[in-house]
Structure 1
Amino acid sequence: MTEAKGRRAASRQVLLASLWLTLLVLAVKVWISWATHSLSLISESLHTLIDGFSILLSLISVSSSLPSGREGWGHSRLEAAISFLLVAFLGFACVGLLAVSLQQLESIFTTSNAVLPVKINPPLLQLLGVVMAISFCLASFERYQARVLDSIALRFNAKHLFQDSWLMIVVLAGLVGVWSGSTWLDPALAIVMVITAIASCCRVFAWQLPSLLRQIAIAPEALAQTIHQVEGITHCYAINSRGLVGRQVFVEMHLILHPECMGVARSIAERVEQVIRDRYGPAKVVIYIDSTEQPKNK
């Protein structure tokens, strides 16, 4: 139990640091895109916004599992409402950026003077290079911590941060091309970034959707019956489950083991987790091993 709390607390600290750095990177990207009038950079910033929101949801989910009086494994209606607001904002931004990008491409190839020039200079390119390096370092740090802490949330967010970093390389190369005179690269890359941002948003919500749902995923009685298939367990209680069966389920429970089995508690916990996964599909299981005396109010 202490080890599980320690891992969640460490994951919370990593996610919190990642969130602040991601917001800093987002602010720099938006400022540079505003100063340079770059459509591709502002479109790529949508990826960073999505990554930051995914980290925020993961942070809330991990924090809600800590002793705070809040129900574990599930976001409130507030986070769900903010999620829908984000989707609405992204939809509006993507449609607007696509329209402007197509208009600029048409103006470029028809030799029109209506195109707003992209103002690129070496110092701004160097600053973007630093931002890209920060993103890569942050993604690498999260992936390392995901292995150390065995955190699914950190692993998922690290994957998306790496994707954002690689897309930033493409945009940076495109801006170098724009600086060299290929002005069509900026709106063309903006269209690509918008399309990939839509795909990225769909992946984030497909992964985060189970933790946004608060209803019980599996009846506690059914879970108790499944858990008792593992030898050495005398009682299980305080069983909670959230998510979607078959996609991702979050389960939290307390177990009381036979006194002779306390030495193999870790092995029993692993077997319980495997039994739940075999029957209900992908699952993240948090198990608390209590003393041999069951609390009266549980």
Structure 2
Amino acid sequence: MTEAKNRYRASRRVLFATLWLTLFVLSVKVSAGWTTRSLSLLAESLHTLITSFSILLSLLVTAAPDRLAGREVHGHSKLESVATLLLVAFLGFACLNLLGMSAQQLAAATRVVDLPFPTDVSLPLIQLLGVVVATTLALALMGVYQARVLNSPAVRFNAIQLLKDVGLTILVLAGFVGVMWGFFWLDVMLAVFLVLLAARSCWYVVNWQLPLMVQQTAIAPEVLAQIARQVGGVTHCYQIESRGIVGRLVLVQMHLILHPEFMGIASLIAERIELAIRERYGPIQAIFYIDDDVRELENYSFSNPTLEVNGIPYRRDETHSQN
């Protein structure tokens, strides 16, 4: 259990540090894009915003006691629902404005008049973007390494998003070089392409993050109870909960009462139950509470080292130990 807690805390620290550094990169891109009137850089900033939102969702899971205690009565917490709606509304507003400005740029170019938003590309701007690319790439590679060490799907997912962001920033950087050579339309075309890609990226992130947070039951409790009772030594199981997506990742927790003669091999019994559930329903993360008449409730956590819910071991709420 100590190792699981350490992985949980380390994953949370990595996500927290990644969020702040990504927000810093976002502020640099927005400032540079606004100052230079670069539509492509502003459009690429939307992808960095989406990545920041993905990291924030992963952190919200760790900071939501109601979710961990299973006391939520609706599909998602209000904070996530409001944050998602705000993100979609802002992206819609920003994308429409960027598309409108891009249309004005192209219309002005066809009439051979002064551009309404001339892009001021300079060597210092390219150097600044080079530093941003190097910083984001280092952050993404650190995330990939930490995801492997911590066996955290959430850290890995967000690191991959950062790597994609690096690729798009390099694309914008190449477009700036073209603008310096006189191909001003590259900035406009890249802006349109990145705006359309931002809608797809937003859907991909939301579709990956939010389903794992749904509070609906993934597997019927009676089915899980039947599987648990088939393992020798289990006399009773109760307070069974499951959530997630069957076939993709399911979080299971239950309280077990073992025959006194089997208390010495409680960890082995828990592993057998987890294996039986995994063989039937695919990837899971399981937490078992072994109930003893003599001692208070003892928490046993046996998780597949490569499968976790948003990279964070599910924790026992303190109210359990008080009951």
TM-score tier after normalising by the smaller chain length: 0.7 to 0.9
Asked if 1:217 is matched to 2:208, the reply is no
Summarize the alignment of residues 97-136 of structure 1 with structure 2, pairs less than 5 Å apart: 97-136=98-137
Corresponding position: 1:91 with 2:92: yes
Q: 2: CA distance between counterparts of 1:102 and 1:30?
A: 21
1:261 partner letter: I
Separation of aligned partners in 1, 2:236 and 2:120 = 68
The secondary structure found in structure 1 opposite 2:68 is coil
Q: Which moved more, 1:153-162 or 1:206-215?
A: 206-215
1:216 and 1:204, CA in 2 relative to 1: closer, same or farther beyond 3 A? same
Letter paired with 2:56: L
CA distance in 2, matches of 1:199, 1:22: 20
Q: Percent identity over the alignment?
A: 52
Give distance in 2, aligned partners of 1:233 and 1:15: 38
Q: What SS does the corresponding residue of 1:60 show, helix, strand or coil?
A: helix
Distance 1:153 1:138 in 2: 15
* 1:173 maps to amino acid: A
Q: Does 1:259 align with 2:256?
A: no
Given residue 36 of structure 1, which amino acid in structure 2 is its aligned partner? T
Cα 1:126–1:78, aligned 2, differ >3 Å: closer, same or farther?
same
Deviation at 1:43, TM superposition (A): 0.4
Could you tell me which runs of 5 or more consecutive residues in structure 1 were left unpaired when the two chains were aligned: none
Displacement of 1:46 in angstroms is 0.6
CA distance in 2: counterparts of 1:41 and 1:21, whole angstroms:
18
Q: Say how many residue pairs are matched.
A: 291
Classify 1:17/1:291 alpha carbon distance in 2 versus 1 (closer, same or farther; 3 Å): same
Aligned equivalent of 1:180: 181
Whether 2:52 is the aligned partner of 1:52: answer yes
Q: Find the aligned partners of 2:273 and 2:225 in 1 and give their Cα distance.
A: 10
SS at match of 1:71: helix
Deviation at 1:233, TM superposition (A): 5.1
Tell me the secondary structure at the aligned position of residue 243 of structure 1: strand
Moved more, 132-141 or 273-282: 273-282
Q: Displacement of 1:295 after TM fit? A: 5.0
The alignment yields a C-alpha RMSD, in angstroms, of 2.7
**Residue 68 of structure 2: aligned partner:** 71
Change (3 A) 1:127 1:288: farther
Aligned AA for 1:51? T
> Can you list the C-alpha shifts for 1:36-84, whole angstroms capped at 9, x where unaligned?
00000010011110010110010111334xxx56535775112212111
Residue pairs, 1:231-250, within 5 angstroms? 236-250=237-251
Unaligned stretches of 5+ residues in structure 2: 298-319
> What CA distance in whole angstroms lies between the structure 2 residues aligned with 1:232 and 1:124?
68
Asked if the contact 1:19–1:52 (Cα under 8 Å) also holds between the matched residues in 2, the reply is: yes
Secondary structure at 1:216 match in 2? coil
Q: 1:172: how far off?
A: 0.8
Cα distance between partner residues in 1 of 2:111 and 2:277: 62
Cα distance in 2 for partners of 1:8, 1:255 equals 24
TM-score after normalising by structure 1: 0.86
What amino acid is aligned across from residue 204 of structure 1 in structure 2? V
Q: 1:202 to 1:295 in 2, by over 3 A?
A: same
Matches within 5 A, 1:11-30: 11-30=11-30
Q: Is 2:277 the partner of 1:280?
A: no
Runs of 4+ residues over 6 Å off in structure 1: none
TM norm structure 2: 0.80
Distance in 1 (alpha carbons) for counterparts of 2:145 and 2:89: 34
Q: Taking structure 1 as reference, are residues 251 and 103 closer, same or farther at Cα in structure 2, changes over 3 Å only?
A: farther
Native 8 Å contact 2:40 2:172 kept in 1: yes
Shift of 1:221: 2.4
